[in-house]
Amino acid sequence: MQISAKKLADLVGGVLEGDGGVLIHKPSKIEEAQAGSIAFLANQKYESYVYTTQASAVLVAKDFVAKQKIDVTLIRVDDVYQTVAFLLEQFGAEKVRKGIAEQTSIGEDCQIADSAFIGNFTVVGDRVTIGEGAQINTQVTIGQGVKIGANVKVYPGVRIYKDCVIGDNCILHSNCVIGSDGFGFAPKPDGTYSKVAQIGNVILEDNVEVGSNSTIDRATMGSTIIRKGTKLDNLIMIAHNVEIGENTVIAAQTGIAGSTKVGSQCSIGGQVGIVGHIKIADGSMVQAQSGINKSLKVENEKWYGSPALKYMDFLKSYSIFRKLPKLEERLRFLEKKQA
């Protein structure tokens, strides 16, 4: 992609200051930018670079006031971060392909849109539906009865088990598994276990993104559901019959046990553990490495620690228990003095 600063400003609805004819062909960090790139200033800690950058243009907020003379072309926008996100999508857009590659196995009674693409060495089971503009890459396995919506991106190595439903505009990154069996086993008198059949499915609503090597288990009965707009990082484990609300974000290495219901607009940090059969209120914010062992009933609260406490309560407690070795030492000294 190559575009003039003037056209780029028009594209993002920005106000141009400087040479609108300079050509831009890539985005760059402001401290590393070279000629031909566009950088951005969203964090004022990086302001010094705007006076020395080699970038051809810089995105800044409309209310940015320079403290020194600036030689670079500026494009003023309402929201720098949102504009950067939009431009990264434009510069990084992959070529949209269509058709079915030769070395692909397609089952019976499938409905595949003409505008969809399926790459080599992908296996598609019977009765699969694939929507308009879907991009299914190489070495993907799609089980029977799966439904994939429009404009879905499925990267190499993804496994989608039978009867799962993938909504429009979802992104599934390499080697994630959608619909593997839930962890269901019934103990027997002799100490062994019999497997409980997992006959449900997984439903990803529209605009869900699942990171590499994450797994979402199918429900024992019914559905494991990830509501629209939710974003899951890499290496996340979602157990059977979990439901996650709309526009929730979850960072890497988090695990959620079976039948837990996570609300909408939640933010869950990395390496969080959540027990099964509880409810997490809408807007809950859970710090990294926290352990949630009971329902969180109050909306928009912050939580920290394991077992998790309200954020400020944890910080107050931490300020005390980190001093325990010195307090013990002082107590022993006082005991000896009293003896």
Planar angle of CA 293, 299, 301, nearest 5 degrees: 70
Every domain of the chain and the residues it spans: 3-91, 99-315
Average pLDDT, the chain: 94
- By the 8 A CB rule, do 158 and 174 touch? yes
What fold, for 3-91?
3.40.1390
Helix (H) or strand (E) holding 83: helix 80-91
* Intra-chain end-to-end CA distance of the chain, in Å: 81
Per residue in 113-139, pLDDT tens? 999 999 999 999 999 999 999 999 999
pLDDT of residue 106: 97
184 pLDDT above the threshold of 90: yes
- Band of the pLDDT at 44, cuts 50, 70, 90? confident
C-alpha dihedral (168, 171, 177, 181), degrees to nearest 10: -30
On whether the CB atoms of residues 73 and 23 are closer than 8 A, the answer is: no
104 touches 87 (CB < 8 A)? no
Q: What is the DSSP letter of 196?
A: P
Say whether pLDDT at 329 is over 90: no
Q: Which residue numbers are catalytic?
A: 240
Contact 4, 20 (CB under 8 A): yes
Count of CB atoms situated within 10 Å of the CB of 194: 10
Residue 90: which of 22, 170, 27 has the closest Cα?
A: 27
- The answer on pLDDT for 1 being more than 90 is no
pLDDT in tens, 251-265: 999 999 999 999 999
The tokens describing 300, both together, are 């928009």
- Lowest mean pLDDT across 24-28, 61-65, 326-330: 326-330
Q: Is the peptide bond before 187 cis (omega within 30 degrees of 0)?
A: no
What integer pLDDT is reported at residue 126 of this predicted model? 98
Q: 221: pLDDT confidence band, cut at 50, 70 and 90?
A: very high
Q: Are 141 and 161 in contact (CB under 8 A)?
A: no
Least confident of 135-144, 149-158, 224-233, 305-314: 305-314
Give the CATH fold of the 99-315 domain.
UDP N-Acetylglucosamine Acyltransferase; domain 1 (2.160.10)
Query: What per-residue confidence (pLDDT) applies to 124?
Result: 98
Give CA angle at 202 (197, 206), nearest 5°: 175
Q: Which amino acid is at 71?
A: D
For residue 93, the model assigns a pLDDT of 76
Give residue 146's identity as a one-letter amino acid code.
V
Question: Distance between CA 36 and CA 87 in Å, rounded?
Answer: 15
Q: What is the pLDDT of residues 157-180, one digit of tens each?
A: 999 999 999 999 999 999 999 999
Contact indicator for 17, 76 with CB cutoff of 8 Å = yes
Average pLDDT (288-302) is: 96
pTM, full prediction: 0.84
